[in-house]
Structure 1
Amino acid sequence: MNNKKTFYITTPIYYPSGNLHIGHLLTTTLAWVYKNFKKQQGYDVFFSTGIDEHGQKIQKKAEEVKLTPQEYVNNEANKFLELWKLLDIDFDYFSRTTNKNHEQTVKLIFNKMLEKGYIYKGKYEGLYSINDEEFLTKTQALLIEGKYYHPVSKHLLQEVEEESYFFKMDLFNEWLKSYFLNNPIFITNKAITKELLNNFIDKGLDDLSITRISFDWGIKIDKYDDQKSHIIYVWLDALFSYLTNLNYLEKNNHNYLKYWVEGNEIVHVLGKEISRFHAIYWPIFLKSLDLKLPTKEIVHSWIVTPEGKMSKSKGNVIEPIPLINKYGAEEVKYFFSSQVNIDNDFSFSESLLINVLNADLANNFGNLLNRVAKMVNQSFPNGTKYDEKSLLEIDKNIYELANETYQEYKNNLNNFHADKALKKAIEFSSKLNEYIDKNEPWKLKDNLDRLNIILNTLLNGIYLVTYLLSIVLPKKCAIIFSYLNQLNNEKLLFQNNKFDNVIINVKEILFPRIK
């Protein structure tokens, strides 16, 4: 019987209408690092990503390149799959909303909501952004010289009038407000929670248009004037991919029962620009069907450049593949997960990436590993030995700090602050380098008893750093564990005699300086 706790984590399903950019890389890397941490802690983990393939924008893009929408999204799906392969990001499920099971399930969900009286047919009159697949009121839009623009993306809005089905959001307004107030850590970012309350929930939620008839690329629900079908609007379609990934409403729904119904942690990772859809519409959709809500919405901020938020119009979109090819998949993942605080916008530059990789991996941890291995091989070719009775205060402090570092690492990652957790690993590596400088082991070749204690303490410390970094540098750390002749196992972290008579063989510099 499997009594492991479960952890279901998703990225958004990305909208594949433009070039891949480092925003895709950031969100997916964060989710992947959280997934690796939970696995390290013994959880049974399910990780999904994917693409959102329906909508007017996709149909227009396909027409522009003279492909059918299905051909277009097939090509786009391959681009994402190739990126995750290049980046060494492993996942359990790649979601595509053109999947037939997904389409059938979303139709059933729509019908359930209709039967319950939460959906009605009416007419939509207002503003719509094709690029953002988003309806807005005139009060939400920016008015510039008589034209309306999206307040965030600045895309031009169209005035539309068409028949639509609407979801009665107002029925759930007070419930959602109460849920936010009673679950203050549901959304990781307190500023986002405040913004959603002030700008939407406290003002009263408008009923949401959930179908369109002006295009036909999407999940069709019924005919209109015997000519056009109602197409389920992108968010009702897309958000339920988080359940169809797990075979919700299908006969073989073991994963749905295991990771959602009986699951311990259900976590969505997303950028702040789509927080309204995930933190307002999604909980309400789930509540309307009497389904369990996710346990956490991890809302991260934006990557910005000197020109501001990345956008095609500004010409400041940074593509991930050249960075990965130039610096390495693990190094790029390390940079973003160790530097981005999910609560604050992050200013990216390539020079910062180089500085961080050189400072943390080459000069700090890489240098520590190589210098300690060299000293061990010179004086103890058959390995060192742990001798608790001979430890001095300075040595005991390192072991105490190791314990504190591990606890802080876990606390930070349990709160989804990967940057703070990984910085703890590098800070501890710095302390080990300081420990070398204070003890001056190069002067102790005639005092092998003391030198043995110092080098054995350092090896135990290096083991901890390697273990902590293995959630983001799994391949490099696997090599380091092999050099140290050790297994990657939490049980060994504080088993201080693990290096007794172990031969160390560091064969190469794993983190060369970037010039």
Structure 2
Amino acid sequence: MNKKTFYITTPIYYPSGNLHIGHLLTTTLAWVYTNYKKQRGYDTLFSTGIDEHGQKIQKKAEEAKMDPQAYVDMQANKFKNLWELLDIEYNVFSRTTNKEHEKAVALIFNKMKEKGFIYKAKYEGLYSISDEEFLTPTQAILKDNKYYHPVSGQQLQEVEEESYFFNMSKFTPWIRSYFENNPDFLTNRATEKELLNNFIDKGLEDLSVTRVSFDWGIKVYNADDSRQHVIYVWLDALFSYLTGLGYLSDNQSDYEKFWLNGNERVHVLAKEISRFHAIYWPIFLNSLDLNLPTKEVIHSWIITPEGKMSKSKGNVVDPIPLIQTYGAEEIKYFFTSQVNIDNDFTFSYDLLINVLNADLSNNFGNLLNRTVKMVNQSFINGVHFDEENLHQIDKNILKEIDLVYQDYCLALDNFRADKALKRTIEFSKHLNEYIDKNEPWKLKDNLERLNVVLNTLLQGIYAITFMLSIVMPKKTSKIFNFLNQDIISPTALNDYKKFDNKVLDVKEILFPRIKN
């Protein structure tokens, strides 16, 4: 039987600046969603990468006195090293300097041109080099007779040059209709409303898709051009989601499996690039009669008490020291469990430490350690499931395992990892309360009742460990080993005999308390 497929991408990151925790958040979310789909039996493919072309990259390379290719090679390694440090595995690392990608994008450009969607004219307007974005005066901020980018604050350049344009305006009715008929296409309602109000409902302007003022990019050659044209970075970059699957290459099997015939095609991105992914990308795909993504998961910003992270404020948080200090899995748990993708998230070190101590050390870690200790004190050969002697309080816990797992799946099916993990940790808290109500330390002379209580606790601990495994696979693998469990599956959640006569051995404290 063919498995359902799940293809997920991060944006291909622009590698001109330093790494920050925004990169960490986006990639971790995509990785966690992938792990969940694997749990559910999907065939998955996870893609990330970097966007290597454009005027900004060329300028950065010049500043570093490097060849542009050598510069992006160096930057690519920074991202790969971060994902390795974070213990994030991916299937594809897309690079827009890949020759197969460059060849495919040139073919795509020509195909759009042949279909009449691309025409030559002169571009006169505003351009942000740092954001690689064209803006109209109404979209920009005017201050002291100069125009600035509304998000980054970078001063805009006035540009006048020969360019090819994509006929975006022609697709305005189509994209508006698509939003209306596919209300679940974007996860973020506020972003959808903003895109409609600020761009679509005003009527889309045709998009300049080539530049002639620099040469670091995919070149298009036409005899009637006065100068050599380089394809605009967004037209180049967005198609990496297809070329990473082999689209227009000699081997299109992944493209056919995961995009052409795939069940779920998901992009994870931050809200500031939603215009390119939610308007331009669907239109580009529609112009070529290609499938659209099935979902765009749009998360908000991580900010600090000083506001949005920026070099000028000096509040950019480097992810590497965080991982080295607190641990890769702990950091992934923190961001995944705390960030509600619809709202900006305020990061602080105090919050990080408090969450890790409260959720993992005091709550779940304590539950695991005290339960196994009590089992080993009274049952050398392990506990067993005794259905006849279950009390209502025990049955309620076993029933809650099913309810928690249903809530967990519902949240993750809607890409709300924070809700799934918070529900999991809430259940761990309920198990600690169950211990307090049953007072097992007073049941040493009633081994029949003590056996039921401890077995019930282990059933709950298994469920929590299983649900946390999507974000902490290494730690949870150790826990399953401590619990002498070989079968790691959702079907085992209701196999109440899985702990029968299993000897338990917690070999280390997995979640030590962090000192402030």
The TM-score with structure 2 as length reference comes to 0.99
Give the AA of the match of 1:371: R
1:166 paired to 2:202? no
Q: Which residue does 2:381 correspond to in 1? A: 382
Shift in Å, 1:490 = 1.7
Shift in Å, 1:405 = 0.1
Give the AA of the match of 2:505: N
Give the AA of the match of 1:297: E
Q: Which residue does 2:509 correspond to in 1? A: 509
1:361 paired to 2:360? yes
Shift in Å, 1:132 = 0.1
Say if 1:127 and 1:137, in contact at 8 Å, map to a contact too: yes
1:250 paired to 2:249? yes
* CA deviation profile, 1:86-107 (whole Å, cap 9, x unmatched): 0000000000000000000000
Say if 1:186 and 1:295, in contact at 8 Å, map to a contact too: yes
Q: Which residue does 2:346 correspond to in 1? A: 347
1:471 paired to 2:479? no
Shift in Å, 1:223 = 5.8
* CA deviation profile, 1:143-167 (whole Å, cap 9, x unmatched): 0111100001100101010000000
Shift in Å, 1:42 = 0.3
Closer/same/farther in 2, CA of residues 380 and 300 from structure 1, 3 Å limit:
same
* CA deviation profile, 1:437-487 (whole Å, cap 9, x unmatched): 000000000000000000000001000000000000000000000000103
Shift in Å, 1:227 = 7.4
Within 2, Cα distance between the matches of 1:227 and 1:84?
44
Partner SS, residue 228 of structure 2: strand
Say if 1:216 and 1:228, in contact at 8 Å, map to a contact too: no
Within 2, Cα distance between the matches of 1:433 and 1:337?
23
Q: Which residue does 2:30 correspond to in 1? A: 31
Shift in Å, 1:224 = 8.1
Partner SS, residue 6 of structure 2: strand
What pairs with 1:113-128 in structure 2 (closer than 5 Å)?
113-128=112-127
Within 1, Cα distance between the matches of 2:383 and 2:228?
74
1:232 paired to 2:227? no
* CA deviation profile, 1:323-355 (whole Å, cap 9, x unmatched): 000000000000000000000000000110000
* CA deviation profile, 1:120-159 (whole Å, cap 9, x unmatched): 0000000000000000000100001111000011001010
Say if 1:224 and 1:230, in contact at 8 Å, map to a contact too: no
Q: Unmatched 5+ residue regions in structure 1?
A: none
1:314 paired to 2:313? yes
Partner SS, residue 316 of structure 2: coil
Q: Which residue does 1:83 correspond to in 2? A: 82
Q: Which residue does 1:188 correspond to in 2? A: 187
Within 2, Cα distance between the matches of 1:389 and 1:122?
82
Shift in Å, 1:314 = 1.4
What pairs with 1:70-469 in structure 2 (closer than 5 Å)?
70-222=69-221, 228-469=227-468
Partner SS, residue 94 of structure 2: strand
Shift in Å, 1:228 = 4.0
CA RMSD in angstroms, aligned pairs only: 0.9
Within 1, Cα distance between the matches of 2:294 and 2:402?
29
Which range moves more in the overlay, 32-41 or 245-254? 245-254
Shift in Å, 1:250 = 1.6
Shift in Å, 1:171 = 1.1
Q: Which residue does 1:497 correspond to in 2? A: 497
Within 2, Cα distance between the matches of 1:56 and 1:461?
55
Shift in Å, 1:226 = 7.7
Say if 1:107 and 1:221, in contact at 8 Å, map to a contact too: yes
Within 2, Cα distance between the matches of 1:31 and 1:479?
24
1:480 paired to 2:479? yes
Give the AA of the match of 1:458: L
Partner SS, residue 494 of structure 2: coil
Within 1, Cα distance between the matches of 2:127 and 2:175?
25
Say if 1:382 and 1:501, in contact at 8 Å, map to a contact too: yes
Give the AA of the match of 1:96: R
Say if 2:5 and 2:263, in contact at 8 Å, map to a contact too: yes
Within 1, Cα distance between the matches of 2:69 and 2:291?
33
* CA deviation profile, 1:258-303 (whole Å, cap 9, x unmatched): 0001000000000000000000000000000000100000000000
Within 2, Cα distance between the matches of 1:303 and 1:466?
28
Percentage of matched positions with identical amino acids: 72
Within 1, Cα distance between the matches of 2:26 and 2:257?
25
Give the AA of the match of 2:496: N
Give the AA of the match of 1:277: F
* CA deviation profile, 1:58-111 (whole Å, cap 9, x unmatched): 000000010000000000000000000000000000000000000000000000
Within 1, Cα distance between the matches of 2:223 and 2:18?
35
Shift in Å, 1:411 = 0.1
Say if 2:132 and 2:233, in contact at 8 Å, map to a contact too: yes
Within 1, Cα distance between the matches of 2:214 and 2:224?
14
* CA deviation profile, 1:414-452 (whole Å, cap 9, x unmatched): 000000000111001000000000000000000000000
Within 2, Cα distance between the matches of 1:179 and 1:228?
37
Say if 2:401 and 2:493, in contact at 8 Å, map to a contact too: no
Within 1, Cα distance between the matches of 2:482 and 2:226?
68
Shift in Å, 1:251 = 2.4
Partner SS, residue 14 of structure 1: coil
The TM-score with structure 1 as length reference comes to 0.99
Q: Which residue does 1:59 correspond to in 2? A: 58
Q: Unmatched 5+ residue regions in structure 2?
A: none
Say if 1:86 and 1:329, in contact at 8 Å, map to a contact too: yes
Shift in Å, 1:30 = 0.3
Partner SS, residue 46 of structure 1: strand
Closer/same/farther in 2, CA of residues 83 and 224 from structure 1, 3 Å limit:
farther
